[in-house]
A and B are shown apart, each in its own frame.
Chain A
Amino acid sequence: MATEVERKTDIGPPHYDQFLHPLIKENYGKWQYHETLAPGVLMHHGPAGDIYTVRVSSPRLVSVNFLNAIMDLADKYSDGYFRFTSRNNVEFLLASKDNIEPLKQEVEALGLLVGGTNNAISNVVHTQGWVHCHSAATDASGLVKSVMDELAEYFTSMKLPAKLRVAVACCLNMCGAVHASDIAILGVHRTPPKIDNETLPNLCEIPTTVASCPNNAIRPTSIEGKATVKVDEEKCMYCGNCYTVCPAMPLADPLNDGVSIWVGGKICNARTEPMFTKLAIPYLPNNPPRWPEVTSAVKKIVEIYAANAKPYERVGEWINRIGWPQFFDMAGIEFTKYHLDDFRHAGTTYRRSLHNRY
């Protein structure tokens, strides 16, 4: 194989220099200030001139067909340069202010939305779900579509008290940025894996499977002389690690899998320190294709936040100010035993003061 001799490997990332708009290259590291001209439209000012950004929604899971449409617009309006944000928005980088309106019109004609800047809900970060993940308790793309159909007005406007970051992850591994988002939607498994003792000996390496369990709930055993594993169901926390290394232990359970809602995460250091999301609703039914229970629960939280938080107050900062009792009360969410932490460091979550609220 002649090609193997010349094979190029360990190339690393391409040099970003070649993908920067000439105006960006000139202003690189010299930017002076920016302004938000409209929802989804930013102007950054540098000594070499202004660059205009138009931010556009994207379903994240996109086809070449979708990208071709985006790139045709980039060729037409932004000199062939564009980028993606860490929340999967598309950003066109325009040298001419006059291109903003025609670009917006063409973007909207494609069925996409312009927005996601400042005090808005930006694009939803999410995982693969049933489209491509092996351990998904629910779908991610469909959940995002359903929730954002309800909340689209908060993407295209900037009427929230502060930015609101929503994320979706489809199992307890929380691959989405859900653990530090203002509102997180998380697929949950609630029952231990079911072991297929017939196929397990052929599909799985037993020591690896045993070692994969964070709680040491998996033990080797044998059934009718065949090596397999058993699960101590009391210790299992449904994380799905074993299924990742051993496909003969499916965790999915159509009757009992569902969706949980988490609130108050924040990663930016502004004002208050970064915070993880906290449990708001332990379980809602998994109800495709529109997940009505989830969408209405999320909408309710967004609306009470929008109505009650102060400017620049993120969801977690707002809840810390008003207190969790008031949050549960306002959101109409029942506080249950499942809201009480019982994992490591659980004690750090108990209130150890007389700061009561009534």
Chain B
Amino acid sequence: MKLPLLDQLEEGPWPSFVKDLKEQAKRRPQVGQLLQQLEQSYENRWDYWRGTAINVPGYGGGIIARYSDLGEKFPQVAQFHTIRVIESPGFVYSTEALRQLCDISEDYGAGIMQLHGMTGDILMLGFDNEKMMQASEALMENGWDLGGSGNGMRTIPCCIGPARCEMACYDTLRLTKYLTDKYIGYLHRPEFPYKYKFKLSGCGNDCANSMSRSDMPVIGTWRDDIQVDQEAVARFVEEMEPEWVVRNVTSRCPTRCIHLHGDRIEIDNSNCVRCMHCINVMHLALAPGKDRGVTMLIGGKRTVRSGEMISSVLVPFQKLESDEDYLAFCAIVERIWDFWGEHGNEHERVGEFIDRVGLGTFLDGVGIEPDPQMVANPRSNPYIKFEEYAAPRLEGEPQKGANVLEHEPDRREDYEGS
């Protein structure tokens, strides 16, 4: 197969997807047509896909449908849908399990996969309408389930956590499985104002990229003191030199709460913000404390509609060990879904909703007390609506607290008359 432009991507040290897909084209001819269409995109700088939604019976999401604009020229990719499959938590696999997925991917589709998609799903590419249904059934027969799409809870990814990391402050894999199983209906049958993503990270290093990319990041942390092994500290200081330790560890502490005295480390734990830097660098000598739990955050997302948002702190510390802890965690989640589900606008992520109604109203709505850990700083303007004097704005709203405004987002008014 000659592809004058794509062929140029076969050379070079980085693995070449073109070379790989050309090999796959020998096994599945539709991959050849995919490459030919891609060559045409490279030539004309034009995208030839159209998207729409198709569902498997009983499911309201999980299939990303793609139709080619060049279907007449490349009939084998005229329908080239993606199936999202819920991944194994922690992205761990046995070859036996993945070979099963590979077989399904090739038996019914193009045998192209992505491990993993942005939301955490296993993506399988290249199914037509009929084969997509058959592949979905084959997946379910073998114990694999479809992932989420649309306005529902999405597939949950997590970091490797306690499976291979000494920093993990809670069991990210267990919570991933627990939440997905418990809320599988919300994942498969979307009924929220918009998507709701959890991402779970075991510590503040946030390997699951949760804070910027999920509506509800759940990040491991601790309340007591950093564990210090002074003998290991002494060995580290001797190996690296005290000056190096000061320059790269203690002086990089955001609150300057860690000090080197001779070959001992002293930490003012009341000022430690659990950023992880000293533990990352001196991980043979320092470790997170023993009283561990999670911080629940809310409202992270990117661009669409209101622009970027990094999530903010909702519950500074929540234990996550006993069954009761798990239930307490879920009670918070469900109150959020109830309140946002009732008052959120169509296609309004929970972060945008909070932006519109205010964090105070949101906290009232979900029954969480305000806490200074939730803010970078208190308000700096004086336009306070004291509850005692503010008229209720909306019938049926909780008596206590500022009320939700059922109006369109501000920007809509901004544009009126312009």
Q: Within the assembled complex, what's the spacing in Å between the Cα atoms of A175 and B164?
A: 28
Residue-wise, chain B 153-176 has the 8 Å CB interface mask toward A (1 for contact) of: 000010110111110100101001
Q: Which residues of A contact B143 (CB under 8 A)?
A: 8, 11, 14
In the complex, the answer to whether B16 meets A59 with C-beta atoms within 8 Å is yes
Residue-wise, chain A 66-88 has the 8 Å CB interface mask toward B (1 for contact) of: 11100100110000111111101
In the complex, the answer to whether A84 meets B116 with C-beta atoms within 8 Å is yes
Knowing A59-B16, A65-B27, A145-B16, the reply to whether A28 touches B163 (Cβ < 8 A) is: yes
Q: Which residues of A contact B91 (CB under 8 A)?
A: 83-86
In the complex, the answer to whether B51 meets A247 with C-beta atoms within 8 Å is yes
In the complex, the answer to whether A270 meets B204 with C-beta atoms within 8 Å is yes
Closest Cβ of chain A: how far from B194's Cβ, in Å? 12
In the complex, the answer to whether B303 meets A239 with C-beta atoms within 8 Å is yes
In the complex, the answer to whether A60 meets B212 with C-beta atoms within 8 Å is no
In the complex, B196 has a CB within 8 A of chain A = no
What is the size, in residues, of chain A's interface with B at 8 Å between Cβ atoms?
113
Closest Cβ of chain A: how far from B325's Cβ, in Å? 16
In the complex, the answer to whether A267 meets B17 with C-beta atoms within 8 Å is no
Closest Cβ of chain B: how far from A236's Cβ, in Å? 12
Q: Which residues of A contact B82 (CB under 8 A)?
A: 132
What is the size, in residues, of chain B's interface with A at 8 Å between Cβ atoms?
123
Q: Which residues of A contact B181 (CB under 8 A)?
A: 12-13
Q: Within the assembled complex, what's the spacing in Å between the Cα atoms of A336 and B50?
A: 35
Q: Within the assembled complex, what's the spacing in Å between the Cα atoms of A31 and B24?
A: 40
In the complex, B342 has a CB within 8 A of chain A = no
In the complex, the answer to whether B145 meets A247 with C-beta atoms within 8 Å is no
Considering the complex, give the chain B residue whose CB is closest to the CB of A4: B57
In the complex, the answer to whether A111 meets B86 with C-beta atoms within 8 Å is no
Pick the interface stretch among A97-105, A284-292, A299-307, A350-358.
Answer: A284-292
In the complex, the answer to whether A269 meets B52 with C-beta atoms within 8 Å is no
In the complex, the answer to whether A60 meets B114 with C-beta atoms within 8 Å is yes
Q: Within the assembled complex, what's the spacing in Å between the Cα atoms of A322 and B254?
A: 18
Q: Which residues of B contact A33 (CB under 8 A)?
A: 166, 283-284
Residue-wise, chain A 1-43 has the 8 Å CB interface mask toward B (1 for contact) of: 0011001111111111011100010011101111000000000
Considering the complex, give the chain A residue whose CB is closest to the CB of B177: A13
In the complex, A117 has a CB within 8 A of chain B = no
Q: Which residues of B contact A180 (CB under 8 A)?
A: 209, 211-213, 310
Q: Within the assembled complex, what's the spacing in Å between the Cα atoms of A322 and B87?
A: 42
Q: Within the assembled complex, what's the spacing in Å between the Cα atoms of A33 and B415?
A: 56
Within residues 253 to 300 of chain A, which ones have a CB less than 8 A from any CB in chain B? 254, 257, 265, 267-272, 274, 276, 286, 288-290
Q: Which residues of B contact A289 (CB under 8 A)?
A: 5-6, 8-9, 42
Knowing A13-B88, A86-B157, A176-B118, the reply to whether A64 touches B94 (Cβ < 8 A) is: no
Residue-wise, chain B 131-148 has the 8 Å CB interface mask toward A (1 for contact) of: 000000100110111000
Closest Cβ of chain A: how far from B324's Cβ, in Å? 20
In the complex, the answer to whether B80 meets A132 with C-beta atoms within 8 Å is yes
In the complex, A139 has a CB within 8 A of chain B = yes
In the complex, B383 has a CB within 8 A of chain A = no
Knowing A84-B116, A130-B41, A139-B38, the reply to whether A10 touches B5 (Cβ < 8 A) is: no
Q: Within the assembled complex, what's the spacing in Å between the Cα atoms of A344 and B414?
A: 12
Closest Cβ of chain A: how far from B274's Cβ, in Å? 8
In the complex, A312 has a CB within 8 A of chain B = yes
Knowing A113-B13, A254-B44, the reply to whether A53 touches B212 (Cβ < 8 A) is: no
In the complex, the answer to whether A179 meets B14 with C-beta atoms within 8 Å is no
Given B116, B283, B415, which contacts A235 in the complex, CB threshold below 8 Å? Answer: B415
Q: Which residues of A contact B310 (CB under 8 A)?
A: 180, 274, 276
Within residues 89 to 142 of chain A, which ones have a CB less than 8 A from any CB in chain B? 93, 111-113, 125, 127, 130-139, 141-142
Q: Which residues of B contact A113 (CB under 8 A)?
A: 13-15
In the complex, the answer to whether B252 meets A312 with C-beta atoms within 8 Å is yes
Q: Within the assembled complex, what's the spacing in Å between the Cα atoms of A29 and B412?
A: 50
Closest Cβ of chain B: how far from A40's Cβ, in Å? 14
Q: Within the assembled complex, what's the spacing in Å between the Cα atoms of A53 and B211?
A: 26
Knowing A9-B140, A312-B277, the reply to whether A268 touches B303 (Cβ < 8 A) is: no
Pick the interface stretch among B98-106, B332-340, B394-402.
Answer: B98-106
Q: Which residues of B contact A272 (CB under 8 A)?
A: 254
Of listed A9, A74, A149, A344, residue having the most chain B CB within 10 A: A9
Of listed A8, A19, A139, A272, residue having the most chain B CB within 10 A: A19
20 inter-chain pairs at a CB distance below 8 angstroms, sorted by A residue, are A12-B180, A12-B181, A13-B86, A13-B181, A51-B164, A64-B113, A65-B20, A67-B113, A80-B96, A130-B48, A142-B6, A145-B18, A152-B14, A247-B50, A254-B44, A267-B210, A270-B280, A289-B5, A289-B6, A289-B9
Beyond A11-B145, A312-B281: 16 further Cβ-contacts under 8 Å?
A9-B59, A34-B283, A59-B14, A59-B15, A71-B95, A84-B93, A86-B209, A113-B13, A113-B15, A130-B47, A130-B49, A137-B47, A149-B13, A155-B14, A254-B46, A267-B212
Closest 8 CB pairs of A and B: A149-B12, A63-B24, A269-B204, A180-B212, A148-B14, A130-B41, A29-B162, A134-B51
